[in-house]
């Protein structure tokens, strides 16, 4: 495993590119919110109810 090069260890990347690749790799490893279903409906309902108290946000 240690012998395998990954995108964060390639010599042609600049330090900034290496840091960005590492950041992206860590973000992909994080747990993500569920997609679709009840969770998405609940979040949409919460956003809709919150906007009712803001008449200046209406189009």
| pLDDT digit string (tens) for the chain, length 59 residues | 455 556 556 578 899 999 999 999 999 998 887 777 888 888 888 888 776 777 777 66
The DSSP string of 3-57 is TS--TTT-TTS-HHHHHHHHHHHHHHHS--PPPSHHHHHHHHHHHHHHHTT-GGG
The DSSP letter of residue 3 is: T
The residue with tokens 């409906």 is 41
Contact criterion met (CB below 8 Å) for 28 and 22 = no
What's the pTM value of the predicted model, to 2 decimals? 0.39
């Amino acid at each position: 495993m240690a012998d395998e090069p990954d995108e964060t260890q390639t010599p042609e990347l600049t330090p900034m590119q290496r840091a960005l690749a590492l950041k992206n790799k860590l973000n992909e490893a994080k747990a993500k919110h569920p997609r679709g279903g009840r969770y998405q409906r609940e979040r949409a309902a919460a956003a809709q109810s919150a906007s009712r108290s803001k008449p200046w946000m209406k189009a």
